[in-house]
Amino acid sequence: MKHHIILVLLALFWSTQTQALDLQVSGKLHITLPEPQRLAHFSGVLIVWGKDRGRISHRYLSAKNYLSVDMRGILPAFFCYEFGQAGCPPLPRWLQVLASDSARVAKLKQGRSWVNEVGSQRIYAHYLEGRGTVFIPEEDGVHIIEYKGDVHDFKRMLNSIREVKE
């Protein structure tokens, strides 16, 4: 993953006609972002400032200690419960309660929420008061993409998430 970020940064510095940034956020998915104005990377977080003043950050959190619980192998099911989806894989009752509490703290019932399928990957998103968050849960961790800006630009960014073509 670090190699992908370094290659993207190098390509941006040597390209003079960059129109958009193709950011690979997982082994399966990438996002096409408008032409970046500035990039920063520190402490495992990549931040992209767009010319439209929007800001996008990406970080990856391990399932080993997500919300102080080892959720390896069950993180996708946890997000299914957290976003109130029907037909979620079984989880112990205490994890269902934790998901419900987490949704309340994150104000998921307020604002706007989306659940999208991109290929075989389920993506969860939430937007409230000028800030949006996209969660891409995997068995071993979750990619978190945070956006600050207009809801229409957030939806455009969310809809630009595509499968990586090999």
CA 9 to chain centre: 19
Q: Indicate the angle between helix axes 93-105 and 75-82, nearest 10 degrees.
A: 60
Written as one letter, the residue type at 157 is M
The pTM for the full model equals 0.83
pLDDT digits (tens, 9 = 90+) for 121-141: 999 999 999 999 999 999 999
Domain residue extents for the chain: 2-163
Written as one letter, the residue type at 20 is A
State the Cα–Cα distance between residues 157 and 139, nearest whole angstrom. Answer: 24
pLDDT digits (tens, 9 = 90+) for 9-44: 444 444 444 467 788 888 889 888 777 778 888 888
CA-based end-to-end distance of the chain: 16
State the Cα–Cα distance between residues 66 and 165, nearest whole angstrom. Answer: 30
Name the 3-class secondary structure at 72: coil
Structure tokens of 78?
A: 């946890």
Give me the residue label for tokens 């299914």: 80
Return the CATH class of domain 2-163.
alpha beta
Q: What is the mean pLDDT of residues 102-117?
A: 91
